[in-house]
């Protein structure tokens, strides 16, 4: 067999059907249709990623004749991308400069990822060097004053929220098979290993059984090889999706930290040219699982303009050390059942992807793109609205939590522009109180990020807020912010004081963050609106958050976790 007899020499992959039988073409086609055209359900991958046919066959094909002694192989042919050629992401995305800046950073990350060498990169000195670059992995580990934080990853993709909802629900009862397989893995992890190879084969088999997907080994063009990886093919895009990347260490503390190595394995996999079309059309969600001896940690990873890796669990003890503690086994089984169900969701996600310019822009934002609001014709009913994100409203960075978006109809046509933000807490009552008197934009929605279970329950206290967009300038834009270079006119100050003292304080409410960036001048200076109700609420109940900015001149008595008082609002108004 060779490329010439196949008549194709583009991106391809070889698969071997599971089992000892050989399948005819028609039998395989029937089974593939029953499996939803997912080859991972029927076959084991014989090649790590899409490669040219000549690479797959030519080296071993000289003189071979087909015989009954040779197994049936499945040849998967990928359609070449029909757009963009070698254009980079930033060149394809037109429109807002902020989105082009995100795309340029994305291109830099992929270029850097193609040079990753796992054996070296996960060592602390090289890990630190990587975190000093503008393409640092946003995992909370910093090498300088540059922070590596961003919003929770479960706000970007519902599969991570789904995992958390199941894994940490004490009322969730995993299937019996998952519980039994979890106990088997715990017993295996309890054995002291002196090398990774000592139990990698058994771990791969057990994880495949637990997660209902085969765990395989792959090697990329840089000869990087995660210990185990679970993959799926996409129906309309070339590339191989890494559903879960698993790094295994003999014991905790040997040969680097597994979740860090998993982060670079993830980066290396998705930066490969073989994944080009796929990674340009989604944020490449994957789970990263690190097992070190009897310890387990689960991470979620995506790529927006940078690689984001968040630990979704702490390190969990897998050791089987208590003989009358079935509840502990069930607790760990919830973790694996959460991964299992979330990975099934990822398979559906990747199967549904198709190439589009819209996908290439949407990949920088959350997939939470719908909300409900009262029906304008009947306030007793609600209507579902669809969102399309346009750009970060402040800085073009993955840490952004506030976005300019538009409400679109069923055919994608623009209806109106809105502001979307993700919050941990929100003073809805204070916002609505000022909306009633025209001193705040209209609040359209404050509620769950994801609208269906179990993902709806997986974001903790985080919520989505949608409000109307009011055109204007903030007081900091108009009068300056640094050192309060220009004094805010009394007419503006009086309007803010009247709104806060009469319509908030008069109802027992406080704002907590009266500063120039949160004062909007919509046209005339008398048309003043107040923004940012994240900390607002009832006096005596609400407190300031942790990690207040040290670069702001706060009112006397303001500190982390201190109660928010009316006197603080009054002093901040005077300081405008």
Domain that holds residue 500: 472-575
Whose structure tokens read 């840089």?
222
Task: Pick the last residue of a domain from 358, 376, 406.
Answer: 358
For 243-294, write each residue's pLDDT tens digit.
999 998 888 877 778 899 999 999 999 999 989 999 999 999 999 999 999 9
Q: Is the pLDDT of residue 52 over 70?
A: no
Task: Pick the last residue of a domain from 358, 381, 410.
Answer: 358
Are residues 255 and 382 located together in one domain of the fold? no
**For range 39-50, the mean pLDDT:** 56
First-to-final CA distance of the chain: 78
Are residues 454 and 563 located together in one domain of the fold? no
Percent of the chain with pLDDT over 90: 55
User: Looking at residue 433, which CATH number applies to its domain?
Assistant: 3.30.200
Are residues 398 and 437 located together in one domain of the fold? yes
Are residues 458 and 500 located together in one domain of the fold? no
Half-sphere exposure (Cβ direction) of 269: Cα atoms closer than 13 Å: 34
Three-point CA angle 369, 264, 403, nearest 5° = 25
Are residues 232 and 288 located together in one domain of the fold? yes
All residues at 6 or more sequence positions from 119 whose CB lies less than 8 Å from its CB, including other chains: none
- What single-letter DSSP state applies at residue 451? S
Whose structure tokens read 């640094």?
482
In a domain, 343, yes or no: yes
Q: What backbone torsions phi and psi does residue 293 show, to the nearest 5 degrees?
A: 60, -125
Q: Given this model, what pLDDT does residue 521 score?
A: 94
Whose structure tokens read 């040779």?
70
When the pLDDT of each residue in the chain is averaged and rounded to a whole number, the result is 84
Are residues 565 and 532 located together in one domain of the fold? yes
In a domain, 169, yes or no: yes
Are residues 456 and 507 located together in one domain of the fold? no
Q: Given this model, what pLDDT does residue 71 score?
A: 57
For 304-352, write each residue's pLDDT tens digit.
999 999 999 999 999 999 888 999 999 999 999 999 999 999 999 999 9
Are residues 297 and 436 located together in one domain of the fold? no
**CA neighbor of 252 nearest in space, from 293, 289, 203:** 293
Are residues 243 and 382 located together in one domain of the fold? no
Q: Given this model, what pLDDT does residue 399 score?
A: 86
Are residues 135 and 20 located together in one domain of the fold? no
Counting the structural domains of the chain, the total is 4
Are residues 262 and 352 located together in one domain of the fold? yes
Residue with the larger pLDDT of the pair 76 and 143? 143
Show the beta-strand stretches assigned E in 462-510. 463-468, 473-474, 509-510
Distance CA 363, CA 308 (A): 13
Q: Given this model, what pLDDT does residue 195 score?
A: 74
For 152-191, write each residue's pLDDT tens digit.
999 999 999 999 999 999 999 999 999 999 999 999 999 8
In a domain, 323, yes or no: yes
Task: Pick the last residue of a domain from 452, 469, 486.
Answer: 469
Q: Given this model, what pLDDT does residue 485 score?
A: 60
Q: Given this model, what pLDDT does residue 57 score?
A: 42
Distance CA 69, CA 353 (A): 39
For 476-496, write each residue's pLDDT tens digit.
988 887 556 677 899 999 999
Show the beta-strand stretches assigned E in 123-186. none
Q: How many residues does the chain have?
A: 576
Distance CA 224, CA 272 (A): 11
Are residues 147 and 158 located together in one domain of the fold? yes
């Amino acid at each position: 067999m060779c490329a010439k007899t196949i008549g194709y020499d583009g991106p391809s992959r070889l698969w071997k059907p599971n089992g000892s039988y050989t399948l005819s073409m028609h039998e395989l086609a029937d089974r593939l249709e029953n499996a939803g055209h997912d080859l991972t359900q029927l076959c084991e991958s014989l090649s790590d990623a899409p490669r040219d046919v000549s690479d797959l066959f030519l080296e071993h094909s000289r003189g071979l004749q087909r015989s009954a002694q040779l197994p049936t192989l499945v040849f998967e042919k990928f359609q070449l991308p029909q757009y963009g050629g070698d254009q980079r992401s930033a060149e394809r995305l037109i429109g807002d400069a902020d989105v082009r800046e995100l795309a340029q950073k994305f291109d830099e990350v992929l270029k850097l990822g193609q040079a990753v060498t796992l054996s070296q990169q996960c060592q602390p000195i090289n890990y630190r060097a990587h975190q000093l670059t503008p393409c640092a992995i946003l995992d909370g580990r910093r090498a300088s004053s540059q922070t590596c934080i961003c919003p929770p990853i479960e706000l970007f993709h519902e599969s991570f929220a789904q995992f958390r909802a199941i894994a940490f629900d004490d009322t969730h009862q995993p299937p019996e098979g998952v519980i039994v397989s979890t106990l088997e893995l715990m017993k295996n992890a309890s054995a002291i290993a002196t090398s990774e190879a000592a139990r990698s084969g058994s771990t791969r088999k057990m994880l495949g059984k637990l997660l209902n997907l085969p765990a395989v080994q792959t090697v990329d063009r840089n000869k990087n090889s995660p210990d185990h990886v679970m993959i799926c093919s996409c129906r309309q895009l070339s590339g191989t999706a890494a559903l879960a990347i698993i790094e295994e260490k003999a014991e905790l503390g040997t040969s680097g930290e597994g979740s860090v190595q998993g982060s670079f394995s993830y980066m290396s996999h998705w930066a490969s040219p073989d994944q080009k079309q796929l990674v340009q059309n989604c944020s490449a969600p994957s789970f990263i699982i690190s097992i070190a001896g009897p310890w387990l940690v689960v991470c979620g990873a995506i790529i927006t303009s940078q690689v984001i890796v968040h630990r979704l669990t702490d390190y969990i003890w897998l050791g089987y050390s208590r003989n009358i503690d079935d509840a502990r086994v069930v607790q760990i089984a919830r973790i694996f059942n959460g991964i299992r169900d979330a990975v099934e969701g990822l398979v559906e996600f990747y199967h549904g992807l198709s190439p589009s310019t819209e996908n290439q822009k949407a990949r920088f934002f959350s997939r939470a793109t719908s909300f409900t609001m009262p029906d304008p014709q009947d306030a007793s009913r609600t209507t579902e609205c669809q969102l399309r994100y346009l750009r970060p409203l402040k800085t073009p960075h993955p840490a952004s939590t506030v976005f300019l978006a538009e409400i679109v109809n069923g055919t994608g046509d623009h209806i109106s522009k809105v502001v979307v933000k993700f919050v941990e807490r929100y003073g809805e009552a204070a916002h609505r109180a000022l909306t009633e008197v025209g001193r705040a934009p209209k609040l359209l929605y404050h509620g769950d990020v994801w609208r269906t279970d179990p993902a709806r329950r997986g974001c903790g206290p985080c919520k989505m807020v949608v409000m109307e967009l009011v055109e204007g300038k903030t007081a900091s834009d108009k009068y300056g912010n640094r050192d309060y270079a220009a004094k805010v006119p009394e007419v503006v100050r009086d309007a803010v004081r009247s709104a806060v003292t009469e319509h908030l304080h008069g109802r027992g409410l406080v704002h907590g963050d009266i500063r120039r960036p949160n004062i909007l001048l919509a046209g005339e200076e008398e048309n003043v609106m107040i923004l940012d109700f994240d900390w607002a609420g009832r006096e005596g109940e609400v407190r300031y958050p942790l990690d207040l900015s040290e670069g702001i001149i706060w009112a006397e008595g303001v500190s982390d976790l201190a109660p928010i008082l009316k006197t603080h609002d009054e002093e901040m108004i005077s300081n405008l």
